[in-house]
Amino acid sequence: MERVLHVSITNSLGNLALAGPHGGCWRLVDGAQNRTLGQAIEGMDIGAATNQLGSALIHEVTLLQQHSEFPVPLGVHFNCVPAREFTELGDAYAYTVLPNSKLSTPETIFKAQPLSEDMYEWHSQFPQYNATRRPVRKRGLH
């Protein structure tokens, strides 16, 4: 599956400073996560959709465009993508938006390492080993 998200954060530096560390946070509206990020399957209940998202693998995150009128660099953090840029104070970000900048050339923020055949096999069989369904052991085998 592929998803394209449009994220727009409009604010001033003063308002961001007053709002604290979460002042510039963007997230999907509660209840829209499964509909937006999950695979739409007719009749799927909310629990199944949540489990589906919980076992999803992110293969790549690409920034398509970016525009900033802020006079300072802004660190961008994704809770599902590892950081690759660090400040002198040790703050970690997936991407840094440069001051007064525009970007119209796509940039890869994250790309997962290719999985081995064993990992693909485990991932395809994972549902049978989750909390709701445990593997059946044959007698005499340990």
Buried b (16+ CB within 10 A) or exposed e, 57-71: eeeebebeebebebe
pTM exceeds 0.75, yes or no: no
pLDDT greater than 80 at residue 10: yes
Which H/E stretch holds residue 66?
Answer: strand 66-68
The reported pLDDT for the residue numbered 133 is 53
Give the whole-number percent of the chain exceeding pLDDT 70.
76
Name the pLDDT band for 44 (thresholds 50, 70, 90): low
- CB count within 10 Å of CB 34 equals 19
How far apart (Å, rounded) are the C-alpha atoms in residues 140 and 126?
A: 24
pLDDT tens, position by position, 116-139: 777 777 777 776 666 555 444 444
What mean pLDDT comes out for the span 12-18? 88
Give the C-alpha separation, 121 to 54, whole Å: 18
Mean pLDDT of the chain: 79
Q: What does the longest C-alpha to C-alpha distance in the chain come to? A: 69
